[in-house]
Amino acid sequence: MQENDLSMKEIEDLGYYDFMSYLGVPYFHVGGLTSTERLAELCQVNKDSKVLMVGCGTGFSACFVAQRFGCSVVGVDIAEVSIRKAKERAKSLGLGERVEFRMGDAYDLPFEPDTFDVVITEFVAQFLDTNRAFREFVRVLKPGGMVGINEMYMDADIPPSIAEEILEAEHIFGEITQLPFSLPSPEEWKQWLEKAGLSDVQVHKNKISVSLKEFKLVTRTIGGFGEFARLFMSLMIGMARYTISSKTIRNRFRQLSKGKRILMRNRSTSKHVGYVLAVGRKV
**Which pLDDT does position 2 carry in this prediction?**
43
The C-alpha atoms of residue 103 and residue 227 are separated, in whole angstroms, by: 27
Exposed e or buried b per residue across 27-50, where buried means at least 16 C-beta atoms within 10 angstroms of its C-beta: bbbbbbbbbbbbbbebbebeeebe
Pairing type for strands 99-103 and 50-54 reads unpaired
Closest C-alpha among 47, 49, 56 to residue 78? 56
**Which pLDDT does position 210 carry in this prediction?**
72
Task: Please name the CATH architecture into which domain 3-282 falls.
Answer: 3-Layer(aba) Sandwich (3.40)
**Which pLDDT does position 14 carry in this prediction?**
85
The C-alpha atoms of residue 269 and residue 159 are separated, in whole angstroms, by: 10
The C-alpha atoms of residue 273 and residue 251 are separated, in whole angstroms, by: 25
**Which pLDDT does position 62 carry in this prediction?**
96
The C-alpha atoms of residue 29 and residue 218 are separated, in whole angstroms, by: 13
Does the CA dihedral 53-56-62-65 come out positive or negative? Answer: negative
Closest C-alpha among 186, 175, 178 to residue 151? 186
Residue 74: phi and psi, rounded to 5, are -115, 130
Pairing type for strands 198-206 and 50-54 reads unpaired
Closest C-alpha among 24, 84, 57, 16 to residue 235? 24
**Which pLDDT does position 150 carry in this prediction?**
97
**Which pLDDT does position 1 carry in this prediction?**
38
String of DSSP letters for 84-114: HHHHHHHHHTT-TTTEEEEE-BTTB-SS-TT
**Which pLDDT does position 5 carry in this prediction?**
67
Residues 6+ apart with CB under 8 A from 282: 138, 141, 142, 143, 144, 145, 146, 147, 197, 198, 199
Distances (CA, A) of 88 to 28, 101, 188, 207: 18, 10, 37, 32
Question: Quick check: helix, strand or coil at residue 153?
Answer: strand
**Which pLDDT does position 209 carry in this prediction?**
79
Averaged over successive runs of 10 residues, the pLDDT of the chain (283 residues) comes to 68 85 82 94 98 95 96 94 90 90 96 98 94 97 98 94 95 91 95 97 90 84 85 89 92 93 92 96 96
